[in-house]
């Protein structure tokens, strides 16, 4: 028993001595080493606040918007007459080209109770007959009130014996990226089809020519949807479905709509004037980006850089100068060229817009009165503009437009023949021209197979005639 007690005491004493030695000689050293190796934790930004406006997907209800829209969207059938390509022996014998009716289809949106319908210009192009089918399967013949190729918008009219359901215009400028939308139309002749998506982007230009400003969505749109409605969750019209981006011709995730503010303005112009009234600032230049800004030695990478200001334009009268950077027009931020062209497409000549611009690092603001477009580009010749009375008198002519800049394609040839900037174009295809509107109308109505015949007076007072194929 004594041996056991002795053994226990020895063990306890040995453990105490060992623990004391560890505390005295080793623990301070280890603590020091640990503190050297300590690393601060990586701080990641985290939002710990809940978003009270978030709506769970299963709480979204599109039924109100669909019910409000579906009866206002119509089926547009376009009958054109064209060559069938299949010639009989009799066709060959008599030297005739066989003509066969060809039928295309699209969509349209009723925008008034008395039967005005908005659709795409490409839906009704070349029509010899237009038939409108409503959602209740009743059909009507449609009249073309007018169309605009630039915005791809057309206005039709049907005569019904009762008031029709119609869609009200929303404000497309207020539409936000990420907002839910519905596309309503007739894809593949499937009447009254509704698809849902969100606004993916705004002010999209598909051509690279800065002439378009589409709303991009991921709502499924296919052939036949063209001319149909893009509406918000309240059922208000915020766009006219126009295009898809696809290698197959069918929807793969990208669809594009003309903003309702542009479509509404085009419709109003067609009803009131018979054509589209375009108001311009009177500036030329380009949208800024990193490389362009570096080349210009400016610190801004967003906005519209003014390269030149057209004399006697609204921008000229307001004091805008080369080197100014337009940052905003009214309430619209200008980040790229299509922001500028898209907003101005909703305006007319004599409208006044508030321009916010940057000059020498200081933001300034000025009202600018928009003017009618004074220039037009003839690809074979160059840029022509309206001539003043003094300029016409100098060339001893009562009508004509002035060559502002020769185009690159034929400039060498034209200069070699004595044609230069300032000369006056008096006639195109045997039609006298008095302004750029006349030039635009003649060229727009010219057949693609018809040559372009230009008559002009050069600086020596000589009349010259040129033919371009």
Which one, of 416, 396, 393, 410, lies nearest residue 454 by Cα? 410
| Residue 116 dihedral angles phi and psi, to the nearest 5° | -75, 135
CA distances from 458 to 378, 402, 455 (A): 17, 10, 10
Is residue 302 within 8 A of residue 288, CB to CB? The reply is yes
DSSP per residue, 56-77: -GGG---HHHHHHHHTTEEEEE
Question: For residue 142, what are the CA distances in angstroms to 72, 76, 394?
Answer: 15, 9, 50
**Among residues 122, 203, 335, 339, which one is catalytic?**
122
Active site residue 148: no
Catalytic residue among 148, 152, 269, 324: 152
> Maximum Cα–Cα distance for the chain, whole Å?
141
> Which listed residue (226, 313, 404, 427) is catalytic?
226
Round to whole Å and give the CA distance between 375 and 130: 35
Residue 464 has φ and ψ, to the nearest 5°, of: -120, 145
CA proximity to 364, closest of 356, 374, 372 = 356
Active site (annotated) includes residue 404: no
- Rounded to 5°, the CA angle 364-369-373 comes to 120
Dihedral sign for Cα atoms in the order 208, 211, 216, 222:
negative
In the residue annotation, 162 being an active-site residue is answered as no
* Distance from C-alpha of 361 to C-alpha of 370, rounded to nearest angstrom: 26
Q: How far is residue 106's CA from residue 186's CA, in Å, rounded to a whole number? A: 7
Just list the catalytic residues.
Answer: 122, 152, 226
């Amino acid at each position: 028993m004594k041996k056991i007690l002795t053994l226990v005491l020895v063990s306890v004493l040995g453990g105490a001595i060992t623990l004391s030695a560890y505390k005295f000689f080793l623990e301070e050293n280890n603590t020091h080493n640990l503190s050297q190796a300590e690393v601060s934790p990586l701080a990641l930004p985290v939002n710990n606040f809940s978003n009270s406006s978030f709506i769970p997907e299963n709480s979204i209800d599109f039924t109100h918007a669909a019910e409000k829209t579906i009866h206002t969207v119509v089926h547009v059938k376009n009958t054109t007459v064209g060559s069938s390509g299949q010639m009989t022996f009799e066709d060959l014998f008599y030297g005739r080209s066989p003509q066969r009716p060809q039928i295309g289809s699209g969509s349209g949106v009723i925008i008034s109770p008395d039967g005005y319908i908005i659709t795409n210009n490409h839906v009704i192009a070349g029509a010899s007959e237009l038939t409108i089918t409503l959602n209740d399967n009743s059909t009507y013949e449609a009249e073309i009130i007018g169309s605009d190729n630039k915005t791809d918008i057309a206005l039709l009219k049907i005569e019904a014996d009762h008031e029709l359901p119609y869609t009200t215009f929303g404000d497309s400028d207020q539409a936000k990226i990420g907002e839910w939308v519905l596309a309503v139309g007739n894809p593949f002749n499937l009447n009254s089809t509704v698809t849902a998506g969100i606004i993916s982007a705004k002010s999209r230009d598909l051509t690279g020519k800065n002439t378009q400003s589409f709303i991009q969505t991921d709502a499924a749109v296919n052939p036949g949807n063209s001319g149909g409605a893009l509406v918000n969750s309240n059922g208000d019209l915020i766009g006219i479905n126009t295009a898809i981006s696809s290698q197959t011709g069918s929807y793969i995730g990208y669809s594009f709509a003309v903003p309702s503010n542009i479509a509404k303005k085009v419709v109003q112009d067609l009803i009131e004037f018979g054509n589209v009234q375009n108001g311009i600032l009177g500036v030329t230049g380009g949208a800024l980006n990193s490389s362009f800004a570096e080349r210009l030695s400016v610190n801004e990478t967003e906005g519209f850089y003014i390269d030149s200001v057209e004399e006697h334009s609204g921008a000229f009268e307001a004091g805008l100068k080369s080197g100014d950077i337009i940052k905003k027009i009214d309430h619209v931020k200008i980040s790229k060229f299509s922001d500028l062209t898209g907003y101005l497409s909703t305006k007319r000549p004599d409208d006044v817009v508030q321009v916010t611009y940057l000059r020498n690092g200081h933001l300034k603001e000025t009202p600018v009165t928009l003017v009618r477009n004074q220039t037009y580009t003839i690809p074979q010749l160059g840029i022509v503009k309206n001539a003043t009375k003094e300029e016409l008198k100098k060339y001893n002519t009562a009508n004509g437009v002035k060559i502002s800049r020769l185009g690159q394609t034929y400039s060498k040839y034209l200069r070699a023949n004595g044609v230069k900037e300032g000369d006056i174009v008096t006639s195109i295809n045997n039609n006298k021209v008095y302004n750029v509107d006349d030039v635009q109308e003649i060229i727009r109505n010219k057949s693609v197979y018809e040559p372009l015949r230009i008559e002009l007076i050069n600086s020596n007072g000589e009349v010259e005639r040129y033919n371009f194929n």
